[in-house]
Amino acid sequence: MSMTDAYIGLGSNLNGPADQLHTAIKSLQQLPATTLMRTSSLYRTRPVGPEDQPDYINAVTWIKTGLSASDLLDHMQAIEDSQGRTRHIHWGPRTLDLDLLLFGESIIHDVDLNVPHPEMHKRGFVLYPLYEISPEIIIPGFGPIMELLQNTNPDEVQKLPGS
């Protein structure tokens, strides 16, 4: 079976955000034909979108998977649903947000899936944890992560101690 490196962004700002991420990581470890390779530290960031919501806790995981990108997305959405994710407000508060950031070197533009994630190249809350676990990575269509980090503000991303 062919295995693909995939990176998943995790975020939460409701109902014990750090616990939400730890639960999601355990669920990702249980996916069929998938091995969890590394998980970043946890990072606190201000919300994107409505500002009258709590700060987010974010992380990135690196997996190797035999699943297709669309099957992986289906599993990720099932994990979100199992943890009480609702989709009422665009960029609103949430118990869990799982984003497929990268799927090998694929560039995918489907109705339900865009890979690389279309905003990841300018979001510190994605780039800093991704850099932590894969500092040499090149984002297809955007370039080396080191170059992308130069356009972000490190003060907007706070690594949580002991995470």
Answer yes or no: 85 catalytic. yes
Say what the pLDDT of residue 66 is.
Answer: 98
Query: What are the pLDDT digits (tens) for 27-86?
Result: 999 999 999 999 999 999 988 777 788 999 999 999 999 999 999 999 999 999 999 866
Tell me the whole-structure pTM to 2 decimals.
0.94
* Confidence grade of residue 162 (pLDDT, cut at 50, 70, 90): confident
Q: Let me know: does 114 contact 142? Beta carbons within 8 Å.
A: no
Q: Which of 46, 71, 97, 112 is catalytic?
A: 97
Q: Is the pLDDT of residue 122 over 70?
A: yes
Answer yes or no: 155 catalytic. no
Q: Is the pLDDT of residue 106 over 70?
A: yes
Q: Is the pLDDT of residue 116 over 70?
A: yes
Q: Which of 55, 99, 123, 155 is catalytic?
A: 99
Answer yes or no: 123 catalytic. no
Say what the pLDDT of residue 163 is.
Answer: 79
Answer yes or no: 44 catalytic. no
Other CB atoms within 10 A of residue 126 CB = 29
Q: Which of 5, 46, 71, 85 is catalytic?
A: 85
Q: Which of 44, 87, 94, 110 is catalytic?
A: 94
Query: What are the pLDDT digits (tens) for 77-105?
Result: 999 999 986 666 556 688 999 999 999 99
DSSP structure string for the chain:
---EEEEEEEEE-SSSHHHHHHHHHHHHHTSTTEEEEEEPPPEEEPPSS-SSSPPEEEEEEEEEESS-HHHHHHHHHHHHHHTT----STT---S-EEEEEEETT--EE-SS-EES-TTGGG-HHHHHHHHHH-TT-EETTTEEHHHHHTTS-GGGEEEPTT-
For the domain made up of 4-159, give the CATH fold. Alpha-Beta Plaits (3.30.70)
Say what the pLDDT of residue 94 is.
Answer: 85
